[in-house]
Amino acid sequence: MMAKLTLVLIITALLPAMLEAKQWQDSDLDGVPDLKDACASTPLNTVVSANGCKKSPANGGQLNRSMVITPDLCLRTSAGKRYPAACTKPSHIAVKFEFARADVLLNQLQAVEVIARWLKSTGRDLLLVGHTDSLGSPAYNMQLSLKRAEQVKKVLVEQFGLHASRFQVVGVGSAEPVANNQTRQGRELNRRVEFLAIVQ
């Protein structure tokens, strides 16, 4: 009896998160969640109406390219430069994490989706770099940072349909902070996965 009660409590606790994740999922990356998407397999970069179906252009059948939602990102490269080479202001896009955790939070999926759209429009491969704050031993933080990068890769592959071969993952622990680890806000910013373009 006690085991059944425990199982019911666990299911009850997990159900809201599962439903929220399903509501957020957008399989064809058109900006309309699957639960509201009447055309759930529209091609990438197709302009859609609120119901998720292709929107008829009003300019004589010509698609207005400014309406196509493709992120215009300026990423650092694995060689320390920028991609595209002509860009001047790096995009500050990263996936943030809770303390001592490696799972990708629902509120971070928007950043992952932006990266997925960019990847599908450019064909460029990425290096995913995991980071931690300074709390914990160096060995633990190195392992945790790698797990964070691997989890982001998993989401990009399993939820956004990108090929695993397009990603390299690495963890650097707390070696490359972007903020002061002596403050809570700084530690929150340091718990992240960053995206570097791989340029041969």
pLDDT tens digit string along 1-20? 655 555 555 555 555 555 44
For residue 119, which amino acid is it?
A: L
Arithmetic mean of pLDDT over the chain: 82
Residue 157 gets the label, from left (phi > 0), alpha (psi -120 to 50) or beta, of: alpha
Q: List phi, psi (to 5°) of 145.
A: -65, -40
Mean pLDDT on 122-147: 96
Rounded CA separation 22/32 (Å): 12
Single out the residue of 152, 145, 112, 143 nearest to residue 131, CA to CA.
145
Rounded CA separation 106/169 (Å): 21
Structure confidence at residue 66 as a pLDDT band (50, 70, 90) = very low
